[in-house]
Structure 1
Amino acid sequence: MRKTRSTYILKVRVRKIEALIEIDRNLNSRIIECNLIGNRCYNCVPFCEVIVAAKDYVTKRRKPKGEVTEL
């Protein structure tokens, strides 16, 4: 992870939920794709497990509870 990078595209997997998230240094997130509850959802709440795992990965405040991969 480079320190000068401003936007991250992450693939996050927590339990059965898998999502592609675009997140920046200010922790503004945008869901690109999510398979929650068998359908596509794009307006997840800020306390969704995949968004929290993505924010944990970007800020390095704690170990993410899911599997996070940078794309």
Structure 2
Amino acid sequence: MEDWALIRRLAAEGAPKAAIARRLGVSRNTVIKAVASNGPPKYDAGRALRRSRRMRRGSVSCW
């Protein structure tokens, strides 16, 4: 959440998105999404759990 606020502040000061991405070590797409969003990102435990199950299901079939 701190990165989100910093991205928004730097963008408001006029820093280029590519420079913000380089400085923070994130992708330009991350910067673009943070600037366009209305609020900080939310953690969705259900989404993380579903993703984890999909990844496990795929790796087990390889054994």
Q: TM (normalized to structure 2)?
A: 0.28
Larger Rg: 2
Q: TM (normalized to structure 1)?
A: 0.26
Greater share of residues in helix: 2
Greater share of residues in strand: 1
